[in-house]
Structure 1
Amino acid sequence: MTFLLAAKPFRKWNFFELTAGSTLELTIRYALLAGIAWLLCYVIFKRKWFARKIITKFPRGREVWREIGYSAMSMVVFAMVGALTIIASRHGYTQIYRKIDQHGQLWFWMSIVIAIFIHDAWFYWTHRLMHHRKLFKLFHRVHHLSHNPTPWAAYAFSPLEAVVQAAIFPIVVTVMPMHLWAFGIFMLWQVAYNVVGHSGYEVHPRWLMNTPLKYLMNTPTNHVMHHESMRGNYGLYFNFWDRLMGTNHENYEERFRQVTAPKDNAVAPPGDGAGPKPPLDVPSVS
């Protein structure tokens, strides 16, 4: 999508051509990032890193393929939203700009940080709303089929949830000026962070919970606990919304310390395991 925004030959493409091009671009980016994470976590270092596996079982092959299938559908929805954003940009309805000098280097980097904070707020509140009993099955149930997520679960959404998640892209370029490549960096950041957050492994150091950073930074443990219980831990990049609204799991910090504690002779079990399966028809808005 960023490439299509930048390249002059594509500025006359219609909606369907833009959707096809954006689908290809988004799929390649997602497949590379999620594929690398999968190879590292579930193939190359499967045994070596098992001590940091948050749920100490591996998902079955059919569950992984389900995640890939829904992610592929989400790429099409994201591409459609992206195509509409490109068309809106052509007509001056967004604040995307192409010359850094127009707003300067400082704003270039500040806009990325601001976009991340906007996205975090958008994610927390829409995520929490989609857990409402009247909305859960329609929007969010598909994502919670991944009770023991892998990197491929990052965008395993229903079509309606994919629209909600993709809406952040036109939002950020409408509410503030954003250079094309700053937008591209933001896009890369959000995909990479989601992939790591759904990897099933804790990547942060154990000392994190002994510092003030615990009030700011979110962790894969936090999000995997959300997949286990289907309530609480609604945040994305940061943990302050969950702390402010009282939606962190009570034992989140304890679970993080357990996952990151030194372990002797931690060996990956043979074969695949599905892990615990929560009742998918009982969401919560707590």
Structure 2
Amino acid sequence: MDTILELADEYFFDGVYAKLVPKQVPLANATTNFLGEQLATTSAWERDSDLRICLSLSVFLIVGATLFYFASATFSYFVFFDKEYMKHPRFLKNQVRLEIESATKAIPGFALLTVPWFWGEIKGYSLLYEGTPATLLEWAYLALTVPLFLLFTDCGIYWVHRYLHHPLLYKHLHKPHHKWLIPTPYSAYAFHPLDGYFQSIPYHLFVYIVPMHKWLYMSMFMFVNIWTILIHDGNFISRSTIINTSAHHAVHHLYFNYNYGQYFTFWDRFGESHRAPTEEQYDAELRINKKTWAQQAKEAEEIEGKVLKTSKQKVN
């Protein structure tokens, strides 16, 4: 993020801060415009100012996440998403619009919450490193950090996600995301800001405890965001029993208490929360059969009712 912010400073933020918070410069060093007015060429806020870094990160993350969301979700929606699913009885009226509204409200919140993590990276508190590996051992370690990152974050997200289904938390934090029983790619970011932030913590935490090359980390960070879109795309091609596919995640949205994992099914099997997709996800005809939809809707309503009932009992 330090290199990205440096580029953003050079091509955008330097000029903005020079105008918003100008620095007084000696007359001999000043530039003038065509009216002969003195212009400040620098800002009183230096690039290494904590306030400036946090403000720049806030703007960059909100704008960047919003653009990424619309670009990737729109691409997935028009290329992969099966529009027949929009006829499902649990697909809400104007759902795509509602998902987009929910996501655009959530993005600023969880983006701002992640600013301290990126600030720490820029300030050198993480274990990110740079440079080209010089030895075979360094290359081997570089490659090893990829599965380490996936395994670590999959474990973390599983437990965070599972606890978000606890009756005391579900109604307040995670229920907004389960409003979309039949999700579209636009639902990927359509959640409570704290929900999205808590599930992102393992991504950030990893590089504070495990050394990782900064560009590899940025690549993996992009990958997990793309993955989040893809598991909501309703395109059930893979029948993997190891990878937590979009079919597995569709089961999670329908039946709530299963398939909390992000990439793999291991932790769900370990935690006895695994529910394998069936032909109702994989078979093209059965997937859009009205009897199948009716049964899905009935079971989903029964499970949701139990969850909300338990939630009320816990609160009381």
Q: TM-score scaled to structure 1, two decimals?
A: 0.78
Q: Confirm or deny that 1:220 pairs with 2:254.
A: no
SS at match of 1:278: helix
Tell me by how many angstroms 1:56 deviates: 5.2
Q: 1:100 to 1:57 in 2, by over 3 A?
A: farther
Tell me by how many angstroms 1:258 deviates: 4.0
How far apart are the structure 2 equivalents of 1:88 and 1:187?
Answer: 16
Partner AA of 2:61 in structure 1:
S
Q: 1:243 to 1:71 in 2, by over 3 A?
A: same
**Does the 8 Å CA contact 1:4/1:18 hold for their aligned counterparts?**
no
Partner AA of 1:146 in structure 2:
W
Equivalent runs, 1:1-286 vs 2, <5 Å:
4-5=4-5, 7=7, 9=9, 12=48, 13-42=52-81, 46=83, 59-60=91-92, 62-101=94-133, 104-204=138-238, 208=239, 214=241, 216-249=242-275, 252-253=276-277, 255=278, 257-261=279-283, 263=285, 276=297, 278=301, 280=304, 282-283=306-307
Q: 1:131 to 1:149 in 2, by over 3 A?
A: same
- Residues 143-169 of structure 1: CA distance to partner in whole angstroms, max 9, x if unpaired? 111111000111211122122023223
Structure 2 unaligned blocks of 5 or more: 14-46, 312-316
SS at match of 1:221: helix
Tell me by how many angstroms 1:55 deviates: 8.6
Which range is displaced more, 162-171 or 182-191?
162-171
How far apart are the structure 2 equivalents of 1:113 and 1:153?
Answer: 27
Partner AA of 1:221 in structure 2:
A
**Does the 8 Å CA contact 1:78/1:166 hold for their aligned counterparts?**
no
**Does the 8 Å CA contact 2:110/2:193 hold for their aligned counterparts?**
no
SS at match of 1:238: coil
- Residues 164-212 of structure 1: CA distance to partner in whole angstroms, max 9, x if unpaired? 02322320110111222111111121112111111122121xxx4xxxx
Which range is displaced more, 1-10 or 68-77?
1-10
How far apart are the structure 2 equivalents of 1:135 and 1:3?
Answer: 38
Greater relative CO (CA pairs within 8 A, separation 6+): 1
Higher gyration radius (CA): 2
Partner AA of 2:76 in structure 1:
A
**Does the 8 Å CA contact 1:70/1:157 hold for their aligned counterparts?**
yes
Q: TM-score scaled to structure 2, two decimals?
A: 0.71
Tell me by how many angstroms 1:94 deviates: 0.7
Q: 1:148 to 1:179 in 2, by over 3 A?
A: same
How far apart are the structure 1 equivalents of 2:111 and 2:104?
Answer: 11
How far apart are the structure 2 equivalents of 1:93 and 1:282?
Answer: 45
Which range is displaced more, 152-161 or 101-110?
101-110
Deviating 4+ runs (over 6 angstroms): 266-269
SS at match of 2:226: helix
Which range is displaced more, 121-130 or 61-70?
61-70
Q: 1:90 to 1:187 in 2, by over 3 A?
A: closer
How far apart are the structure 1 equivalents of 2:170 and 2:67?
Answer: 30
CA RMSD of aligned residues (A): 3.2
**Does the 8 Å CA contact 2:90/2:181 hold for their aligned counterparts?**
no
